[in-house]
Every structure is written in C-alpha cells, then in structure tokens.
Structure 1
Amino acid sequence: MIIARDIKDIRDAITGSCVTIGNFDGVHKGHQKLIQLACSRARRCDLTSVVVTFDPHPLRVLRPDTALPFITLTEQKLELLSQYGPQACLLLNFDMDMARLSPADFVKRYLVDGLKMREMIIGYDYHLGKGRAGNFETLTALGREHGFTVDRLDPVSIDGAVVSSTRIRDLVQAGSVWQACPLLGRFYQVKGEVVHGMNRGGRLLGFPTANLKLVDELFPKPGVYAIWVETGDEVFMGVANIGKNPTFENDALSVEAHLLDFEGDLYGRDIRVHFVQRIRDERKFGSLDELKDRIRKDSELGRQILAQPEAAIRLTQPDFEAP
C-alpha cells in the first residue's frame, strides 16, 4: 500500500480511483467490509483502490478538550488498513482550514481533481465537510455533477448490535476484551518498547516481566489478563497486569507482561501485546508470598485459556470476503 501525505505526491500516479473515506478508528469489522468492497469494485472497474483518512483525528482539532482515547494511533491504523488490500492511502493533515471546507470544495479538490475519483464507497453514517453537511444525498448530487457514483454500505451487526468504534472502546475500557474480539476481527492489542521498571518481577517475585513504555491511548480496565505476546517472529503465551500495583503502592499506570516459557532479554525491543481474556481484578496482597502464589495461579489460568482453539492468535493476513 502506497502512503501519501499530500495529494501532490499521488495525483500524477492515478488515472481513476475508487475511494473510501473515513476516520477508521480501530479498523473494525465494519471498516474492513467497507475497504474490501472498495477494493473489489476497483478491481472490477480497473481503478486504483484508495483509502482516505486523517491525521490527527478530526476530533482532536474540532474538540481538543475531549478525553476520548482512540483505539488505534496512526501508525497502527495504517498497518491494519494495508492488510485489507487497498493500493493507496491518502493520509491528510486535518486542521481548521480543512474543517472549514464545504463538501463540494473538499470533494473537488482532493477526490475529483486529486484522485480522479470515479466511484465512492462510504459507511452508512458517514458525513464530510463543514458542518458534516456531506451526507449520502449531498455526495450523490456531487457525483452527478462530477461524474462519479456513490455507494453506501449498510451497518455491520454482530450479536444483534451495530459494530462501531464507540462500542469497541466501551468494551475494552470495561475489560471485556474477549467480547471486543469479534467486532475487531482480532484481539485488542497495544505495542510498546520494553523499558526498565521497578525490577521487582524477577528479583522479588521470581516472575520476570516486560514493562511497556506506554504509547497507546486506550487500555483495558485494570486487572490481570491472558495475553499473547508478539516479539519479532515469535509469539509467546503470557499474563499481563494493567494497573498501579497496589501491593507496592505505585501511582502510575503500568502494563507488565510475564511471558510463559520465555528466557531472554527484551529490553529496548518493541513487543505487541494481544489481550485475550480478563482473569481477575487488580488487588492488594498482604504479603509477597501471597502475591507470588496468586501469580502462579494466574499463569496457569492464562495457559489454560490460551490453549483453547478459539483463543488462537490471528497474525496472518485476513481472508477477503466477496462483497
């Protein structure tokens, strides 16, 4: 997937495109179907499939005081988008100048003149332009003027409810990572560099942990989780504690992962933690021996959970579904 941050970097390489546009926070099952439909339509019509998205997220500009944590930061979002087959991604810098563009101006400047758009695929609730005035009807009228068609994807529902970034965010923050998995098509994950922590896991407790330098915005509810840990080309079972380690009276949020059946040094390396299932709440223990005994039990529970077929990690490129 070619990534362009300026329309000038991609304009001359495209003779006609099928475009899907959105914020794609989480790149969830609804987003995946949208991208797959755009790619399928592009192949059928001999067009270039293009995903258009924004950095920063428009809410960061329009409502900077919002505390809403995003499911995927830009780097991970681009990585996930590429897995679903688009040939190009136009990552536009969203600022107040762009926010003031009318739907007609945005479509003409970026999509028609820039990407030579012939087909447009949008989500059922997508709006663009100043005041969110660019709805399906408005875009369809612009299509008649500029020579492109607009198709709208129906909502994608799982377990009787529409898949949405808001629903996924609520599940993750509630610790319901297992329930979030079908909506994402993967386990919820965070990525970070392993840094030196308080050096208590191996030295005091006999359970060495990888302490993540926190970069992501959205974290599951504090507690202990069964996890997969991806490091380089290897994947390990593990358990992670998210929280403030009340036994040691910490103040800062931390993510500490204990890798099962692993020996080695991870300091300075990036690892990816896939949260599979919540095991228990974080709690304060009366002694180190009590804590060590609980960690042993957590590790065994984690191993049992991860041994189940439905807990298998999804690392391969996803299969494409025929639209």
Structure 2
Amino acid sequence: MAATSERSGNLFVAYQPSEIPKLSQPPVLILGNLDGIHRGHRALIEKSRQLAGGSPVMSAEVTTEPPRAAELMKAPTWALTFHPHPAEVLSPSRSLQLLHRPTHQFQRIFSFENQRALLEETGVNGIYYHHFDQKTAAQEPEEFLNQVVWPLFHPAAMVVGFNFRFGRGRHGDSHVLQEWGAGKGVSIHVVPALHWHGQVVSSSNIRESLRDGDVRDANELLGFPFFITGQVEAGERRGRDLGFPTANLARPSTLLPKEGVYATRVHVASAIYPSVTHLGAAPTFHDSHQRIESYLLDFKGELYGQGLKVEFLDRLRETRAFTKPDDLKAQIAKDIQRAREVHHEFTGF
C-alpha cells in the first residue's frame, strides 16, 4: 500500500496519522475492518450519515446519549480501519469450523482499491488505514482509544457493529467503548446484527459462500454482485482457436469464488457485456495453471491492456475435462445460452 495520502474521487485516504487533514469539526467515526462494504457495513455508514446530518434515526442500536449532539450537525464522516487486516497478522491460516472444511489462508474480499471505490459511493468523507501489527494487537483497548482514536479524531460520535472487537485479546467491545465515550463526551452507537434471508450479514458468511461457489448467496449478503478488477493480459489463445476469444486477467491476491464456470457481467469503459467466466485450470488441455478467462458476449474489438470489472452472477457448472475440443465447444455454447438467461433474469438489488 502507498505511504502517502491521496484522494479517491471525493474520498480522502490517509495511511499515516500525519496525513489526516485538519477537520472543521469533530467527525462521526466508523470503526471496523469494513472488508466487503456489505449490507451490514452500509448500515453503519447510513447510521453515521444520519448522525452527521442531524436527521432523526429510528433503529434498535445501543447508544449512549450524545452530550455533544449539536456538533453532529453536518459533521464529516470518517472510517478508521486497519492495514493489513488483523486476521492476516493474528491468524493468517485458519480453519472454518464447519463441515470439516480445510484450513484456508485468509484473503480479503476486495482489494484496498476496490474497497475505497465502494466507500466513495457511500458518501463517506475519509478513511484512515491504521497500521496493524503485533504491537497494535497487544495494545489494551483503552490505550488504543486514548492514543490513537482520541488524538487523531476527537470524534463527536462513533459507530460500530454489534460484533466489533479490538485491543489485546479482543477485550475491547461495546461496553468498553460506551464507558470510554461517557468519559470523553463521545456518543457511542452500536448497530445490531442485520439479518438477510435468514442469515446474519457478515464478511465471514460472504467468504464461506464464495468458497462454496454460491455467488448468488454472497451477492445477497453484499447487496451488489461480487466483482474483481484487473487488466487484460496475454493468454494461451485457446479460446480464440475454439471460436470464443477470452479476456484473461491475472489472479488477484484477494478471495475468488470456487473454481468453476460462471455467468458474469463485464464492464468495459462505460459498457456492460453479459459474459461467461472460467475460474481455474484447463483440464481438457492438461493445464493445471489457475486462470481467469472471460468470454464477452456480443463484443467485438481488442481488450489487451484494458482494465475490466467482472461481476459474478451465478455458478453454471464445475470445471471438467472433455475428451476432445469439439465437446468443449458444444458445452461452451450451452454455457453462453444459460449465461444470457441469467443476465436477462438479473434485476439488480
């Protein structure tokens, strides 16, 4: 990650304490990892914007009375999050304790660049990436609040999720925050769990759905289609030889859905094309290299070097080997037909 502040559209991004600009008044501060900017995170952001604008809020969140409520009128909204993600430092390889799943290397849902783009869409004014390491993890909760949060922001209010934990041993919780806030005159707002279609909206549940290839479920929890971005690079040209030229993207370091063939949408400049995207190896050609290959329906032109955004709508099938290329071509034709149907059925969120 870069070490200097920047602007991402209307979003101010700071990586060092010295880069946080002087604010005109105490901000409303969102505290959390915000990996995903999913429906739950957007509930935090909406709460912060309601507080910042002074509009009445009707919700079930736990809150302390705001002694500095007058200062919340038109206050800036900022997010304080961590880089790297605490899980990358504390438990880089952890097991999902469900259905005897194997251990997974922790991966972010979205890159920092895409996280910032999503945050900008919400209207948040700024984000500060606080460096997280073993020293940060060893801080007592009150030490973190008094040595980081208070001197950097002097917030008028803070918004956190129901399950946010911080400080040594994850001892910092909403009770610690409320006690600290009462002493500082900072109103603390704890947004309850958001349930969607019978399950709690959380980054962990989204990761699990993506690893299962259930992008429909992940998209419901996110509130928008899961996506990746990247630049088109040269491939093996097998798709072109089969009559289905593909755009090949480098594998990102962030999480990808389970290997398979997906109905997707690809953004090229200002246009959106229905597409079929293959994630994984090419067993028909005895190639174990993991690839991301998208075939854009109805597209004509050159894509090499262009930046693409690939949105995942549904998993069509698993990756498998075919006896001969003609069998693969026939299956791709079926994939294209189904992808068109998925694209036409998609109505957004």
Normalised to the residue count of structure 1, the TM-score between the two structures is 0.92
Residue deviations 1:95-153, cap 9 Å, x none? Answer: 22222222112112222221111111110011111221211111111112211111110
Please name the residue that 2:199 is paired with: 161
Q: Deviations over 1:10-42 (max 9, x none)?
A: 252342011111111111100111111111101
For structure 1, the 5+ residue unaligned runs are: 315-323
- CA drift of 1:188 comes to 0.9
Q: Does 1:104 align with 2:142?
A: yes
The answer to whether the 8 Å contact 1:55/1:74 transfers is no
Structure 1 position 298, deviation (Å): 0.9
1:70 to 2:98 alignment: no
- Kindly indicate whether residue 70 of structure 2 is the aligned counterpart of residue 54 of structure 1: no
1:13 aligns with 2:23: yes
Aligned residues: CA RMSD: 1.4
CA distance in 2, matches of 1:3, 1:252: 36
1:25 aligns with 2:35: yes
Q: Is the 8 A contact 1:231 1:271 kept in 2?
A: yes
Given that 1:14 and 1:115 are in contact with CA atoms closer than 8 Å, whether structure 2 keeps it comes out as no
Q: Secondary structure at the match of 2:159?
A: strand
Task: Structure 2: state its 5+ residue gaps.
Answer: 1-10, 55-71, 95-104
- Match for residue 339 of structure 2 among 293, 296, 302: 302
CA contact (8 A) 1:191 1:216 kept: no
Residue in 2 that maps onto 1:321: none
* Displaced runs of 4 or more, over 4 A: none
Tell me which amino acid in the other structure corresponds to 2:89: V
DSSP 3-state at the match of 2:41:
helix
CA distance in 1, matches of 2:12, 2:89: 26
Deviations along 1:223-276, one digit per CA (max 9) or x if unpaired, are 111110011111111101111011011111111100000011111111111010
Q: Mapping of 1:82-121 within 5 angstroms?
A: 82-121=120-159
How far 1:313 sits from its partner (Å)? 5.3
Q: Which amino acid aligns with 1:133?
A: H
Following superposition, the deviation at residue 65 of structure 1 comes to 4.2
Change in 2 beyond 3 A, CA 1:11/1:132: farther
After superposition, what is the alpha-carbon deviation per residue over 1:194-214, rounded to whole angstroms, capped at 9, x for unaligned?
Answer: 111111111x20100011111
- Identity across aligned pairs (percent)? 32
Question: Partner of 1:128: helix, strand, or coil?
Answer: coil
- Which residue identity is paired with 1:178? R
Distance 1:11 1:143, change over 3 A: farther
Equivalent of residue 43 in structure 1, options 50, 53, 66: 53
Aligned-residue offset at 1:189:
0.7
**Matches of 2:155 and 2:220, distance apart in 1:** 33
What is the match of residue 6 of structure 2? none
2:233 counterpart (184, 195, 218): 195
User: What is the match of residue 320 of structure 1?
Assistant: none
Partner of 2:14: 4
Q: Is the contact between residue 92 and residue 106 of structure 2 (CA under 8 Å) also seen in structure 1?
A: no
User: What SS does the corresponding residue of 1:274 show, helix, strand or coil?
Assistant: strand
The 2-side partners of 1:125 and 1:251 are apart by: 40
Q: Aligned ranges for residues 256-275 of structure 1 at < 5 Å?
A: 256-275=293-312
Say which SS state the counterpart of residue 153 (structure 2) adopts.
coil
- Which amino acid in the other structure matches residue 127 of structure 1? R
Partner of 2:190, secondary structure, is: strand
| 1:206 maps to 2:243 | yes
Contact 2:88–2:106 (Cα < 8 Å) also in 1? no
Change (3 A) 1:11 1:105: farther
TM superposition score normalised by structure 2: 0.86
Q: 2:229 & 2:22 partners in 1: Cα distance?
A: 35
* Match runs of 1:136-147 below 5 Å: 136-147=174-185
CA distance in 1, matches of 2:90, 2:219: 30
**Code of the aligned partner of 2:22:** D
CA distance, structure 2, for counterparts of residue 110 and residue 68 of structure 1 = 26
Q: Distance in 1 between matches of 2:276 and 2:348?
A: 14
SS at match of 1:253: strand
Amino acid at match of 2:246: T
1:288-307 CA-to-partner distances (Å, cap 9, x unmatched) read 11111111111111111101
